[in-house]
Amino acid sequence: MKIFSFALLVLTGIFISPIAQAQSIIIYDYFDTDPEPTDLSGTLVYAIPDGAVKRFSIKNMSDSVFNFRIERVKIEETDGVFDFLACGTTEGTSTAYSYVDVSPNDPFITPDTFQLELDVDAYLGSHYLPGESVGCSQYRYYVLNDSSDRVDSIDVRYCSSSGLNENYLEVSVYPNPAQNNIILESNNPINGTLLIHDLSGRELINEKITNAGKHELNISNLDQGVYTLTLFDPNGNNTIFSSKLTVK
């Protein structure tokens, strides 16, 4: 009888013991190349004023691969703005979700699932279109596991103003609407990387600008529609200038 009881206790212990480490992640800045990047999970990150995009990497700190989805929740939102997102194994292969699908919904949960490998970080891109609105919006991005449990999250806060920050270049983009070419012109030399995304978050143009007061860009490969134009600093970390671009 004692032997049976001991065996039962052993078996019970086996069944109630955790069979795997709890799922755990860190979320860090996409441009953080440190071998041990700063964990931003559970924090609030400010996009530089008038910023249009914030990029993150998601690292699996568990002992097993698991599938995940992203849940976006609106914490605060200014009238007249739109948000959308992209997610995937890398930025280049990410799945983009249009503002038409994302912005009206609270929460929005990606219909697709993505695999969070042990040795390959995943990508999360938060995109924001302020339009003519002035004010701040804040969004929370949860990483959901296979059981739709919220593993961790990060908040992104965007603020748009009627004027340029004193640290900004005074950049003009014309003509806008445009057809084949646009010109970026500034009061001071422009140094940085110019990115153009469509409203689903796909990167369509990536061009470096070096020491140019005026820079002409060929956009003849873009279809008619609305795009976001963003100028980043030379290190690609901060937004210098952003604007909506209409191609007709």
Residue 116, C-beta contacts closer than 8 angstroms, at least 6 positions apart: 25, 58, 60, 65, 66, 67, 68, 122
Backbone dihedral region of 107: left (phi > 0), alpha (psi from -120 to 50 degrees) or beta?
A: beta
CB atoms within 10 A of CB 114: 20
pLDDT for position 200: 64
CATH number of 171-247: 2.60.40.3080
Nearest to residue 144, comparing CAs of 113, 122, 121? 113
CATH 3.40.50.300 fits 17-160, yes or no: no
Q: Is the pTM of the predicted complex or chain greater than 0.85?
A: no
Q: How far apart are CA 101 and CA 223, in angstroms?
A: 20
Same-fold call for 17-160 versus 171-247: yes
pLDDT for position 130: 84
3-state SS assignment for residue 11: helix
pLDDT for position 49: 58
pLDDT for position 11: 41
With DSSP H G I counted as helix, E B as strand and the rest as coil, what are the percentages for the chain, rounded to 5? 10, 50, 40
User: Domain boundaries in the chain?
Assistant: 17-160, 171-247
pLDDT for position 122: 95
Q: What parts of the chain have a pLDDT lower than 70?
A: 1-21, 48-51, 161-169, 199-201, 235-239
Q: What is the pLDDT of residues 186-211, one digit of tens each?
A: 877 888 889 888 766 678 999 999 98
pLDDT for position 239: 67
pLDDT for position 50: 59
pLDDT for position 17: 36
pLDDT for position 25: 93
Q: What is the pLDDT of residues 223-235, one digit of tens each?
A: 998 887 888 777 6
